[in-house]
Chains A and B, each alone.
Chain A
Amino acid sequence: MNIVVCVKQVPDTTEIRIDPVKNTLIRQGVPSIMNPFDKNALEEALQLKEQYGGAVTVISMGPEQAKATLREALSMGADKAYLVTDRSFGGSDTYATSYILAKVIEKLGPFDVILGGKQAIDGDTGQTAPSIAEHLGIARLTHVLSIKIEGNKCIVEREIEEGVEIVEAKLPILCTATKETNKPRYATIKGKIDSLKAEIENITLADLPDIDVTKIGLKGSPTRVKSTFTPKRQSCCEMLEIINPRETARMLFGKLADAKIL
């Protein structure tokens, strides 16, 4: 069983604050973490390896510092890690990102199972993983709860709004993991020590000779972020005094009735 997991390094969005004067995100001092759903994806990969044998490769596209996330993946039990990094990859939207990652997967493969997260908590689109499958022309199942391998097929539980589908698919398959898929393991001390010594190879544009350069980076991205802003909070909340709870409740319903809300 040859498995590859796509992991993204993201800022911990719970730690992000807004600069009240400039109205921009303060990224400084915000810790970088492995995207939480990608930990679930990695856990699923490790469990598949334990059950069916094989090896787990992790890949991440990003700057040099994303190696910290790859080391974390290694310390959890991944066998090999590659950093996908090149100036020309910068500014890629999900179309371009998924194209580059698909090319990397082709180069490193073949793989039986490709795993990713349901979504990244920064870009938040949830589009990259299924798009990788489309570039590769393979089957995909998003939001999976479990994966069972039977020969050259797999049986997957997939969560949709209405319930859980049991789906059969031929390998290779790309699946995305969610918080409900499993509980990611912690790294062992030994794993952490080993990961510090592990070599992480860089994959750059030069390593992908058959890539179509018109489809990568900012230039190759069909979407463009035109502007960003922080949500404006209307501060026109009418505060109701607490005289006593009943009186306040009466006041509230009175106001709602006057405004024809209730």
Chain B
Amino acid sequence: MDLKQYQDVWVFVECFQGQPKDVGFELLGQGRLLADALKQKLCAVVIGKDVDEGIKGATAYGADIIYAVQGNEYANYSSDAYGYAFLELCARYHPNTILIGATANGRDLGSKLAICLNTGLTADCTALSVEEETGNVVWERPAFGGNLYARILCSETRPQMGTVRPGAFKKPEKFQNRQPVMIREVIHTKEEDILTKVIDFIKANDEAGVKLEEAEYIVSGGRGLKGPENFAMLQELADLLGGTVGASRASVDAGWIPQTKQVGQTGKTVSPKVYIACGISGAVQHLAGMTESDTIIAINKDATAPIFDVADYGIVGDVFEMVPAMIKEIRVSRNLN
């Protein structure tokens, strides 16, 4: 395999019902760093029945080239149709690197592409860089529930591929007036080649207020909160900061708060400006979802709790005293009562 024939960094801008997901834009930010290091172009791939919003987003977040494939068969994700369209693009343009969001569909697509292209796929990367001499991407990822990190290379085959969890990286700044090269490819997947068909869809109840992955301020509660009623004070603090409430798995499992609020390895990955952990011990599985936050504040009764190892500011104290005091302090400073 002549690796040099493979050029450019591709980002899959996944859309749901025509709306691009943030993770695609987060990846355009990372993809730009890789593309610059490799001295190659940054390309976005948009597949769907409606591709306009995806193209708009990919333009604003800095793609040099946008490949778009449009068709009725792409209204819903299917491994077969999306896989076929993506593989056709690969056959025509030979990408060097492919980044995909680690959503349910993204992981599925990544697996399909890797097998068909006879190449490697690294899952859930949390840091990406380029080995200068070889042009290999160094994929860094947690395993063993966050207890161990590995650096993984795919040095013999191209494209080199990785998935990244939503929220693991921040969205880059938007560009104004960028004019990427637009390439619309006509690719249709035969009806009989699509083995799975979505016949109905039940939308999940929308979270009220700010979404966890998008919040700039998160006040998270753990088992130390003692009961569901005490999440009200976390909500109040979050509202005052303009943010939202998160939780550890212990409080989700106890039924105090819905699973959509869970932060961590089996929950959401978040990287807000400020993450306030209240009554959370800091198990590795929890840390796996929040250590990328800009500033971490921990409130815990136990001075030896591991959460203090990742916190920037720590308060060894009782959440039932500290959280009300913080609420009061903000209210007073803003002349609210």
Contacts and interface: CB of A to CB of B under 8 A. Distances in A.
Interface of A: 11, 13-14, 16, 18, 25, 93-95, 98, 121-127, 130-131, 133-135, 138-143, 155, 158-170, 179, 221-231, 233-240, 242, 245-246, 248-250, 252-253, 255-256, 259, 261-262
Interface of B: 16, 76-77, 79-80, 103-105, 107-108, 110-112, 114-116, 118-124, 138, 142-157, 166, 195-204, 241, 265-266, 273-274, 284-285, 287, 291, 294-295, 297-298, 306, 308-317, 321-322, 324-326, 328-330, 333
A86 to B, nearest CB: 21
A249 B326 contact: yes
A13 B321 CA distance: 34
A6 to B, nearest CB: 14
Contacts of B155: 224
Contacts of A222: 114, 118-120, 154, 156-157
Nearest to B101: A161
B99 to A, nearest CB: 15
B201 A124 contact: no
A166 B121 contact: no
16 contacts: A14-B145, A95-B118, A98-B115, A139-B79, A139-B80, A140-B79, A163-B201, A167-B197, A167-B198, A167-B199, A169-B195, A223-B153, A229-B148, A231-B287, A238-B314, A262-B274
B263 to A, nearest CB: 15
Contacts of A13: 144-145, 147
Contacts, number: 232
Contacts of A242: 315-317
Contacts of B326: 249, 252-253
Contact of B116 (A134, A225, A256): A134
B295 A138 contact: no
Contacts of A169: 195-197
Given A134-B112, A170-B195, A252-B326, A261 B103 contact: no
A133 B80 CA distance: 11
Contacts of A237: 298, 308-314
Given A126-B107, A127-B107, A223-B121, A239 B329 contact: no
B295 A131 contact: no
A164 B204 contact: yes
Given A124-B145, A239-B314, 7 more contacts: A121-B145, A127-B110, A142-B107, A165-B201, A167-B198, A231-B142, A253-B329
Contact of B197 (A168, A225, A259): A168
B114 A221 contact: no
Contacts of A94: 111, 114, 121, 123
Contacts of B118: 95, 222
A124 B143 contact: yes
Nearest to A169: B196
- Name the prevailing secondary structure of the B interface residues: mixed
Given A162-B204, A169-B196, A131 B114 contact: yes
Closest 7 CB pairs of A and B: A222-B120, A245-B325, A139-B195, A223-B120, A125-B123, A13-B145, A166-B200
Contacts of A163: 201-204
B321 A245 contact: yes
A142 B120 contact: no
Nearest to A252: B313
Contact of B148 (A125, A168, A230, A239): A230
A151 to B, nearest CB: 16
A143 B274 contact: no
Nearest to B276: A252
Given A127-B111, A159-B104, A234 B310 contact: yes
B195 A138 contact: yes
B138 to A, nearest CB: 7
A110 B221 CA distance: 49
Nearest to B282: A233
B152 A245 contact: no
Residue with the greatest number of chain A CB neighbours at <10 A, chosen from B116, B195, B265: B195
Contacts of A122: 143-144
A249 B196 contact: no
A250 to B, nearest CB: 6
Contacts of A221: 120
A25 B147 contact: yes
A94 to B, nearest CB: 7
Given A122-B143, A242-B316, A25 B122 contact: no
A249 B322 contact: yes
B329 A168 contact: no
Contacts of A255: 313
A261 to B, nearest CB: 5
A162 B18 CA distance: 13
Contacts of B312: 236-238
